[in-house]
Amino acid sequence: MTLQVQSQISLRPYNSFGVDVRARFFADAHNESDVREALAYAAVEQVPLWVIGGGSNLLLTRDVDALVVRMSSRGLRVLSDDGESVVVEAEAGEVWHPFVLWTLEQGLSGLENLSLIPGTVGAAPMQNIGAYGVEIKDVFAGLTALNRESGELKDFSLDECAFAYRDSLFKQQAGRWVILRVRFKLHRSVSLALHYGPLQQRLQEQGVSEPTALDVSRAVCSIRSEKLPDPAVLGNAGSFFKNPLVSAELAAELKQAYPGLVAYPQADGQVKLAAGWLIEQAGWKGFRDGDAGVHKLQALVLVNYGSASGAQLLALAQRIQADIAKHFRVQLEIEPNLY
Ligand code: FAD
Ligand code: NAP
C-alpha cells in the first residue's frame, strides 16, 4: 500500500479558479500502481474515481462525492533519435511548461508555441491543447492509457485519439481512460509556426528576424504574461468559452453589421469567430458581480476575485451566453470541465 488517501479535503489549492469545494477522498497517484490502488479503494468505498492534473481547466460547482486522484507521476525520456526526428515521452503528472522547456533545452522544436500553458502532460490530450496556431495533435506520437473498466493498458495512435478543436476521444469518453504517459515527435531542424499575427508582431518588436524555437517560446511567454491573469494571483481557468464555428452566411451577415468582427475562415467552409471579441463587443469586459468577473484585459477569461463559488461563476457564464445569443445569434460553448 503506497496510496495515501485523505478525507474531506478542500479542493481550493487544486483548481486554478480557487473555488472552495470539498472532496470526500483525495490522493496523489505517483505511478500506475497507485492508480490501480485508487480504483480498488473507490470500488470498496462505492464512490466514483475522478482523475485531475493541475486543475487549470475545471469549474467545480459543488462538493465532489468521489475519490479525487491527482496525477503526480514524474519522468521524461527520449525514446528514439534518428538525428532529425526525436520521440520523447513524459509521464502524465509532469507539469506542462517545464516539460516544454526541457524539450527546448534538448534542442528540439515543436512545442514552443504551447509554452506557458498551465496544467499537466496527462491532461494535454484531453482537449488537444492549442495556442498560436499549434495543437498537440501536430506533434503527437502516441499515448498509453489505462482502461478503468477492464484494467487493461492501451497504446493510442494519432488517429485513434479523434483530436479536434479543443476536443478528443478522451473528452468525449470522460471518465473511461486514465492517461498515464504521452509521446511527442519533435525535430532538431527548426520548422516554426509563425502565422499568428500577435506572435509575428512580438518577434518584430524584439528585433528577432530569424527566430529559433527558444525565441518563439520567449515571445509566447511574454505575450501571455501580459495578457492573461496568473491563476496564483487571480483565479481563472483560461478561456472560458470555445471560439464558435459558424456558417459562412452568418459570418457574412455579422461582418456587415459589425465591420470589426474578428473571423477566420476554416478549410471546411465554416468561419471561426473570436469569442473574446463578441463578449467585449457586448460590453462584458471588466464586468464584475460580487467576486465573479470578466477579466479586464481579456474578455474570454472569467475570473474569481476571491470567494466566488463555482455556481456564481457558472451563473455569470450563462448570462454571457444568453446575451451573446441575443446579440449575435451565436451559441457559446463552455470550455472548462464542469463538475
Ligand atoms: P485538469 O484541469 O486537472 O483536468 C482537465 C480534464 O482532464 C478533467 O476532465 C480531468 O478529469 C481530465 N484529466 C486530467 N488529467 C488526466 C489524466 N491523466 N487522464 C485522464 N483524464 C485526465 N488550454 C489550451 O488548450 N490552450 C491554452 O493556451 C490555454 N491557456 C490557459 C491559460 C490559463 C491562464 C489557464 C488557467 C488555462 C489555460 N488553458 C489552456 C486550459 C488548461 O491549462 C489546459 O486545458 C490544460 O491542459 C489542463 O491541464 P490540467 O492538468 O490542469 O487539467
Ligand atoms: P488572440 O491572439 O487575441 O486571438 C483571438 C482569437 O483569434 C484566438 O482565439 C485565435 O483562435 C484566433 N486567431 C488569431 N490569429 C489567428 C490566425 N492567424 N488564424 C486563425 N485564428 C486566429 O488570442 P488570445 O486570447 O491572446 O490567445 C492566444 C492564443 O492562446 C490562442 O491560440 C488561444 O487559443 C490560446 N489561449 C487559449 C486559452 C485556453 O484556455 N484555451 C487561454 C489563453 C490563450 P484560437 O483560439 O483558435 O487559436
* pLDDT (mean) for 263-287: 97
The strand order across the sheet containing 6-10 reads 6-10, 22-29, 64-71, 49-52
* C-alpha of residue 81 to centroid of ligand 1, in Å: 29
**Which numbered atom of ligand 2 lies nearest the CA of 132?**
32
Band of the pLDDT at 2, cuts 50, 70, 90? Answer: confident
Q: Read off φ and ψ for residue 224, nearest 5 degrees.
A: -65, -40
**Single pTM value for the model:** 0.97
Q: What is the pLDDT of residues 285-316, one digit of tens each?
A: 999 999 999 999 999 999 999 999 999 999 99
3-state secondary structure of 227: helix
Write down the catalytic residue from 70, 166, 181, 202: 166
Let me know the angle formed at the C-alpha of 167 by 134 and 316, rounded to the nearest 5 degrees: 100
* C-alpha of residue 131 to centroid of ligand 2, in Å: 6
All three cell numbers of 194:
509563425
Name the amino acid, one letter, at 133: G
Mutate to test the pocket of ligand 2, among 111, 134, 264, 301 (most ligand atoms within 8 A of CB): 264
Q: Identify the pLDDT of residue 171.
A: 97
Question: Which bound ligand lies closest to the C-alpha atom of 224?
Answer: 2
Residue 168 designated active-site: no
Band of the pLDDT at 191, cuts 50, 70, 90? Answer: confident
DSSP labels for 119-186?
A: SBTTTTTTTT-EETTEEGGGTEEEEEEEETTT--EEEEPTGGGT-BTTB-HHHHTTTSEEEEEEEEEE
* pLDDT (mean) for 174-189: 97
Average pLDDT taken over every residue of the chain: 97
**Which numbered atom of ligand 1 lies nearest the CA of 124?**
47
Band of the pLDDT at 1, cuts 50, 70, 90? Answer: low
* C-alpha of residue 242 to centroid of ligand 2, in Å: 10
Q: What is the pLDDT of residues 90-123, one digit of tens each?
A: 999 999 999 999 999 999 999 999 999 999 999 9
Band of the pLDDT at 205, cuts 50, 70, 90? Answer: very high
Place of cell 475570473: 303
* C-alpha of residue 237 to centroid of ligand 1, in Å: 8
Q: Which residues lie below 8 Å from residue 55, measured CB to CB, with a gap of 6+?
A: 11, 14, 15, 16, 70, 119
Number of other residues whose CB lies within 10 A of the CB of residue 266: 11
Question: Which bound ligand lies closest to the C-alpha atom of 219?
Answer: 2
3-state secondary structure of 310: helix
> How far apart (Å, rounded) are the C-alpha atoms in residues 255 and 263?
8
Q: Identify the pLDDT of residue 190.
A: 83
* pLDDT (mean) for 55-68: 98
Question: What is the distance in angstroms between the CA of the first residue and the CA of the last residue of the chain?
Answer: 29
Residue 335 designated active-site: yes
**Alpha-carbon torsion, ordered 7, 16, 233, 130, to 10 deg:** 160
> How far apart (Å, rounded) are the C-alpha atoms in residues 4 and 254?
55
* pLDDT (mean) for 155-160: 98
Mutate to test the pocket of ligand 1, among 16, 52, 60, 243 (most ligand atoms within 8 A of CB): 52
Q: What is the pLDDT of residues 318-339, one digit of tens each?
A: 999 999 999 999 999 999 999 9
- Over the range 83-92, which residues count as b (16 or more CB within 10 Å of their CB) and which as e? eeebbbbbbb
Place of cell 491532461: 123
* pLDDT (mean) for 123-127: 98
